[in-house]
Structure 1
């Protein structure tokens, strides 16, 4: 099913993109920071790393949980958008969090459709 594959790719690319964005921005591109770089990278990357294995393995529950996590990154992105120095970072974070949310939503939705179709096929086969 192509929709399942596309939503999976959206989730994976958004998750990896968010990790790369956080590391590159906070490691090299940020002009001024009020907290140490390593602390900010850890705070933003550790939750993403914890979800990475489940997302790469295509676990439906991890995609649903990623939707919840994406909400927090969306709020952080919006808070960065209002700061003129970090506006580009905030816009990128907001877009990637939307990608994580939509990818997780459509993956779960299409996964459920595929599972239901398999159950219907098994039921029709046994009758």
Structure 2
């Protein structure tokens, strides 16, 4: 399931806010991921234990959706060739991927997940 969110369209982000509401926390399976889109950027929203992460949803090796892979031990595994990416840094933890995927700021408020693509805090 892919959901699109853009600033000003969701009603969940204050005007001028860099965070965009992308989904309800309950939409993200425990130790799993879903695909969303923020300003035409594919983003994987991932739950690992009690933590929530946001990464670019496209594998840096094979250009397939990471959100379709398995989540375990603080990583998400690409379903096609088995590369794993650290949820905190986006760095690959095993081959064949050698390049990291982008990570994004994420926060959970009132049961909703918000993502910022902005590099600054």
TM-score range, shorter chain: under 0.3
Bigger share in strand: 2
- Greater C-alpha radius of gyration: 1
Q: Normalising by structure 2, what TM-score?
A: 0.26
The structure, 1 or 2, with the larger RCO (C-alpha pairs under 8 Å, 6+ apart) is: 1
Q: Normalising by structure 1, what TM-score?
A: 0.26
